[in-house]
C-alpha cells in the first residue's frame, strides 16, 4: 500500500515533466500494487489523471502555456467520444471475450492487453527523436490542420474511455505535428485536454458502471499525484525534455511487455 502511494507522486511528476504518462503508470500501480481490478482501475485512473492534469493545466494557463484553439477543436470531439465510449461501449463488452477448451480471455485481461499494446506503441514515439519538436520555438506560430485535429481528438476520446488513458502520448504528437505547437506549449495544452477528457470519462464510469468506489484510496492517491505534478513542472525547467522523453519511453516499453507477459503467460 505504501509503495503504491509513493508511486502516485511519480504519476504526477511524469505528467508535469512530459505532459503524458499519467495513466500508463496509474493503471498498473492500481492493479498490481494496490489490488484494484482492471475494469475499476481504468475508471479510477480517469479521476486521478483528470484532477492531476487540471492542477497542472491551471498553472500552465497562468503561465500562458495553453493554446485555447487547440483545446477547443481537439477537446470537443474528445469529450463526445470519451463519454460515449465509457457510458455505452464499455458495458457492451462481454465478461468473456473468447473461450476455447484450453484458453479463456476475460474482460479485465482484454483491457490490460489493449492498454499494454498502447503502451508499446506510445513508447516508440517517445524513444524516437522528435525533429519537429526541435524546429518549433516558443515563438512559433501555430498552423492548424483542423480536420486531423478533430479526427485525432475523436480517436483519443475512444482510447481514453476504453482503457482509462488520458492520451497525452497521443495528444502531444498531434499538437506538435498538426497544430505546429512548440513542445512546451503542447505540454501545457495537453494537460488541459487530458483533464477534460478524463473528467468526462469518469462521469461516464460513475453514472453507468455502478462500481463501488474506494474514495479514501482514490483521494489519497490523487492528492499525492497533484504534489507530483508541481514537482514535475518545476523539474521540467531544469532537465532536458528530450532526454526525459526518451528515458520515459524505454520505461513504458518495458512495462508494456511486462503486462503482456504477465497477463498471457504467467
Given a cut of 70, whether residue 209 has pLDDT beyond it is: no
Per-residue pLDDT of 182-195, as tens digits, reads: 777 888 888 888 88
**Nearest to residue 25, comparing CAs of 262, 251, 263, 230?**
251
Residue with cell 508511486: 7
- pLDDT for the residue 140: 47
Q: What is the dihedral of CA 216, 217, 222, 223, to 10 degrees?
A: 60
| Phi, psi angle pair for 106, to nearest 5° | -100, 165
By the 8 A CB rule, do 179 and 136 touch? Answer: no
Per-residue pLDDT of 132-148, as tens digits, reads: 554 554 444 556 778 88
Q: pLDDT band for position 149 (50/70/90)?
A: confident
By the 8 A CB rule, do 228 and 21 touch? Answer: no
**DSSP per-residue letters across 177-239:** HTS---HHHHHHHHHHHHHHHHHHHHHHHHHHH-PPP-HHHHHHHHHHHHHHHHHHHHHHTTS
The cell numbers describing 265, all together, are: 503467460
| Phi, psi angle pair for 237, to nearest 5° | -85, -10
Q: Length of the chain in residues, anyone?
A: 266
Given a cut of 90, whether residue 223 has pLDDT beyond it is: yes
**Nearest to residue 165, comparing CAs of 74, 248, 256, 82?**
82
DSSP label at 140?
P
Given a cut of 50, whether residue 206 has pLDDT beyond it is: yes
Q: pLDDT band for position 225 (50/70/90)?
A: very high
- pLDDT for the residue 137: 46
d(CA 219, CA 202) in angstroms, rounded, equals 14
Beta partners for residue 98, in sequence order: 105
Mean of the per-residue pLDDT values of the chain = 80
By the 8 A CB rule, do 114 and 163 touch? Answer: yes
Higher per-residue confidence, 211 vs 66: 66
Question: How many other C-beta atoms are found inside a 10 Å radius of the C-beta of residue 3?
Answer: 10
d(CA 13, CA 42) in angstroms, rounded, equals 20
- pLDDT for the residue 139: 46
Instruction: Give Cβ neighbours of residue 216 (< 8 Å, ≥ 6 apart).
Output: none
Please state which of the ranges 72-76, 137-141, 234-238 shows the lowest mean pLDDT. 137-141
By the 8 A CB rule, do 93 and 110 touch? Answer: yes
Residue with cell 464499455: 90
The cell numbers describing 82, all together, are: 470519451
Amino acid at each position: 500500500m505504501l509503495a503504491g502511494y509513493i508511486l502516485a507522486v511519480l504519476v504526477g511528476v511524469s505528467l508535469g515533466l512530459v505532459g503524458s504518462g499519467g495513466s500508463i503508470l496509474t493503471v498498473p500501480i492500481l492493479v498490481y500494487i494496490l489490488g484494484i481490478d482492471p475494469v475499476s482501475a481504468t475508471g479510477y485512473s480517469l479521476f486521478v489523471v483528470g484532477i492531476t492534469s487540471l492542477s497542472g493545466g491551471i498553472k500552465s494557463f497562468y503561465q500562458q502555456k495553453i493554446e485555447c484553439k487547440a483545446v477547443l477543436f481537439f477537446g470537443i470531439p474528445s469529450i463526445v467520444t470519451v463519454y460515449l465510449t465509457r457510458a455505452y461501449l464499455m458495458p457492451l463488452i462481454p465478461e468473456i471475450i473468447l473461450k476455447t477448451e484450453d484458453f479463456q480471455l476475460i474482460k479485465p485481461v482484454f483491457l490490460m492487453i489493449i492498454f499494454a499494446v498502447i503502451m508499446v506503441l506510445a513508447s516508440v514515439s517517445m524513444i524516437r527523436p522528435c525533429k519537429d519538436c526541435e524546429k518549433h520555438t516558443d515563438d512559433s506560430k501555430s498552423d492548424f490542420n483542423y480536420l486531423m485535429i478533430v479526427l485525432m481528438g475523436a480517436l483519443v476520446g475512444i482510447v481514453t474511455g476504453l482503457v482509462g488513458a488520458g492520451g497525452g502520448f497521443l495528444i502531444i504528437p498531434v499538437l506538435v505535428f498538426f497544430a505546429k505547437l512548440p513542445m512546451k506549449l503542447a505540454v501545457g495544452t495537453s494537460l488541459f485536454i487530458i483533464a477534460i477528457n478524463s473528467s468526462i470519462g469518469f462521469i461516464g464510469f460513475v453514472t453507468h458502471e455502478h462500481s463501488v468506489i474506494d474514495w479514501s484510496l482514490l483521494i489519497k492517491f490523487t492528492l499525492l499525484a497533484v504534489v507530483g505534478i508541481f514537482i514535475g513542472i518545476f523539474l521540467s525547467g531544469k532537465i532536458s525534455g528530450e532526454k526525459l522523453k526518451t528515458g520515459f519511453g524505454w520505461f513504458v516499453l518495458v512495462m508494456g511487455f511486462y503486462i503482456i507477459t504477465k497477463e498471457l503467460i504467467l
